[in-house]
Amino acid sequence: MSGGPWSYPPELGEALTAFGLAPGPATPPALTRDALSDLYRYELRRLRDRLKAGQVDKADYQNLVIALRKRYWPLSLTPAAWDDICSRGS
């Protein structure tokens, strides 16, 4: 991980802010993506636990997982794509 500075595009920055993440110019995209991935996995596990506890109907589970995937759309970008769009500023 190099020291940057990194420039997060506004659309990505807004999406990350919605998750409580506020990467700065010195925050490498890989680190930010890993943090977002951790949050996503936490929410998936929590949803699975709610299913097992009977709080979520099995018929609704798939749609809830898809809704989570859509909410975490930045993870659909590859790590290399994160590096490309968060190109180093001068």
Q: What integer pLDDT is reported at residue 3 of this predicted model?
A: 58
Q: What is the pTM of this model?
A: 0.89
pLDDT in tens, 25-79: 999 999 999 999 999 999 999 999 999 999 999 999 999 999 999 999 999 999 9
Q: Which residues contact 13 (CB under 8 A, 6 or more apart)?
A: 23
CA distance 19 to 21: 6
Domain parsing of the chain, residue ranges: 10-85
Place of tokens 């680190």: 31
Q: Could you write out the DSSP letters of every residue in 17-73? A: HHTT----TTS-HHHHHHHHHHHHHHHHHHHHHHHHTTSS-HHHHHHHHHHHHHHTG
